[in-house]
Chain A
Amino acid sequence: MTSQVLYQEPIEEAIASLETWIDNHRQSNLFREYTFSSRSLALLLLQKDPSLWSALKQDEEQCREVEIVLTVAQNKLEYPVNLAIAQTRQQQARRLESIVLQETKRTQTSLTETLHRFTVNPLTGFPLLVVILYFGVYKFVGEFGAGELVDRIEGFYEGQINPIVNQITAQIIPWQSLQDLIANDYGIITLGIRYAVAIVLPVVATYFLMFSLLEDSGYLPRMSLMLDRLFKSMGLSGRAVIPMVLGLGCDTMATMVTRTLETKRERVIATFLLSLAVPCAAQWGVILGLLAQKPAALMVWGGLITAIFLAVGYITAKLLPGSSGGFYMEVPPLRLPKLRNILTKTWIRMKWYFWEILPLFIWASVFIWIGRLTGLFEMIIRGIEPLVAAIGMPPETAPVFLYGFFRRDYGAAGLFDIQQQGLLTGNQLVVAAIVLTLFLPCIAQLQMMIKERGLKTTIAMVLFIVPFAFLTGYCVNLGLTLLGVNL
Chain B
Amino acid sequence: MKKLFNNIYSWIDERVQISDLVKFMSKKYVPIHSHSIWYYFGGVSLFFFIIQVVTGILLTFYYKGSSEQAYESIKFIMSKVEFGWLIRSIHAWSANLFIFTIFIHMFSVFFERTYRKPRELTWVTGVLLFFLSLSFGFSGYLLPWNELAYFATKVGTDIVGVVPIIGEPLKLLLRGSEDVTGATLSRFFAFHVMLLPLIFSLILFIHLLLVQIQGMSEPVEEKVKGNMPFFPNFFLRDLILWLLVLNILAVLAVFFPSELGLKANPLAPAPAGIKPEWYFMFMFQSLKFLPSKILFIDGELLGILLFGSAGVLWLLVPFWDRKTARGQKNRLINYIGIFAIIFIIVMTILGWVL
Asked if A and B bind, the verdict is no
Interface on A for B, CB 8 Å cutoff?
A: none
Interface on B for A, CB 8 Å cutoff?
A: none
